[in-house]
């Protein structure tokens, strides 16, 4: 591990990013050139694009970038779309063993490329994990800003250790990459996994911009699924909450039943059919929600025990080393 002149790999997950990819590559190349020229990173440092089964010209553009500048641009391509988290993980694991640190950043240019220099500096000072944290959410809509804050609050309540206003823009040193490779779960939630590694951390704050081009790959449906995955992948709190709700309902039911018996003993009769129906509907709803939560955990367990591969790499465009072996 070389902290004085580290070999850095910038991992860039891509899905249908043909509109922005060339600009992303130009900015990353400019940053790497400045870092190399200043002696902050080694000449071997490069960018690694991970094509997550794109249906547009993304992989063709990656191939053109590699042909033009194989020392700076490399890439791997999935055989099918496997999701953003798998694409980030694949890039990190591809870089592992060939670099001193890897930095993951999305291709849409919303994350400030200039923050990479500060991440490298903090890595040199001893941080094994450096989180990119956005300064503010002025560019977000009111709905997205509110739901994002709710997401982080909910994660904290559920006992999931996450970094507030941090997405997947981060630096991981070689030791952190080795530790991350030991986590074999199929349902990845890197924002919850990385804090579990336990290494020395630091943060870099930056201003997040609008997308340079193209459309967001995370509509509301995917955002909700991502939040659910985050909770069920890193916390068993929902299951314990079910037990707590069940205990409370049991106590309420017992007291209500006792009241009904006493009422009958004193000859007043049991009334309130409407109240009984409402209670039945309430309890039925609670039970169905509980079954849904349990089903989510059981489904994840079912998928995990099959031990299917997270992704399948179809093609690689890597740079040959001095011995002629691709790295």
Tell me the C-alpha distance between 287 and 254, whole Å: 17
The three-state (H, E, C) secondary structure of 198-240, written as one string: CCCEEEEEECCCCCCCCCCCCCHHHHHHHHHHHHHHHCCHHHH
Contacts of 46 (CB under 8 A, 6+ apart): 9, 10, 32, 71, 72, 73, 74, 319
Mean per-residue pLDDT, 149-161:
75
Q: What burial letters (b/e) apply to 71-88, b meaning 16+ CB within 10 Å? A: ebbbbbbbeebbbbbbbb
The residue that leads in pLDDT, 265 or 36, is 36
Spatial CA neighbour of 303 closest among 241, 238, 232: 232
Q: Which of 30-34, 173-177, 282-286 has the lowest mean pLDDT?
A: 282-286
Q: Write out pLDDT tens, residues 61-80.
A: 999 999 999 999 999 999 99
The full DSSP string for 165-211 is TEEEEEEEEHHHHHHHTT---SS--HHHHGGGG---EEEEEE-----
Q: What burial letters (b/e) apply to 191-205, b meaning 16+ CB within 10 Å? A: bbbbbebeeebbbbe
Spatial CA neighbour of 124 closest among 234, 210, 40, 18: 40
8-234+309-317 belongs to which CATH class?
alpha beta
156-170, 185-199, 299-313: which is most confident? 185-199
Domains of the chain, residue spans: 8-234+309-317, 237-305
In what side-by-side order are the strands of the sheet with 101-104? 201-206, 129-134, 166-173, 101-104, 8-14, 46-51, 73-78, 313-317
- Residue 220: pLDDT band (50, 70, 90) is low
Q: Write out pLDDT tens, residues 292-309.
A: 777 777 777 766 776 777
pTM, two decimal places: 0.77
- Helix, strand, or coil (residue 75): strand
- Residue 166: pLDDT band (50, 70, 90) is confident
Angle ∠(150,151,155) on CA atoms, nearest 5: 115
CA 292 to chain centre: 23
Tell me the C-alpha distance between 113 and 106, whole Å: 10
Spatial CA neighbour of 327 closest among 94, 12, 78: 94
* Paired strand residues for 166: 133
Tell me the C-alpha distance between 53 and 313, whole Å: 10
Tell me the C-alpha distance between 245 and 254, whole Å: 14
């Amino acid at each position: 591990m070389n902290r004085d002149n580290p070999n850095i790999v910038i991992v860039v997950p891509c899905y249908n990013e043909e509109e922005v990819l060339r600009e992303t590559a130009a900015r990353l190349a400019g940053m790497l050139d400045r870092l190399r020229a200043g002696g902050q990173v080694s000449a071997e440092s490069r960018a690694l694009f991970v094509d997550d089964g794109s249906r547009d010209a993304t992989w063709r553009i990656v191939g053109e970038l590699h042909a033009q500048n194989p020392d700076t641009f490399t890439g791997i391509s999935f055989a099918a779309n496997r999701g953003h988290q798998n694409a980030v993980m694949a890039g990190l694991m591809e870089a592992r063993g060939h670099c001193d640190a890897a930095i993951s950043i999305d291709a849409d240019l919303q994350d400030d490329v200039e923050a990479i220099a500060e991440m490298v500096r903090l890595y040199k000072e001893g941080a094994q994990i450096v989180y990119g944290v956005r300064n503010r959410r002025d560019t977000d809509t009111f709905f997205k800003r509110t739901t994002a804050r709710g997401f982080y609050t909910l994660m904290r309540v559920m006992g999931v250790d996450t970094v507030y206003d941090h997405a997947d823009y981060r630096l991981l040193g070689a030791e952190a990459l080795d530790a991350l490779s030991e986590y074999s779960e199929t349902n990845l939630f890197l924002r919850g996994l990385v804090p579990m590694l336990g290494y020395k951390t630091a943060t870099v704050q930056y201003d997040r911009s609008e997308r340079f081009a193209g459309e967001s790959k995370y509509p509301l449906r995917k955002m909700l699924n991502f939040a659910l995955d985050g909770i069920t992948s890193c916390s068993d709190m929902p299951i314990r909450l079910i037990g707590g709700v069940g205990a409370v309902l049991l106590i309420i039911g017992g007291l209500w039943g006792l009241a009904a018996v006493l009422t009958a003993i004193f000859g007043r009769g049991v009334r309130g059919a409407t109240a009984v129906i409402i209670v039945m509907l309430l309890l039925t709803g609670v039970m169905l929600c509980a079954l849904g939560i349990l089903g989510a955990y059981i489904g994840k367990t079912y998928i995990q025990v099959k031990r299917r591969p997270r992704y399948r790499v179809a093609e690689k465009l890597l740079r040959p080393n001095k011995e002629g072996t691709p790295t």
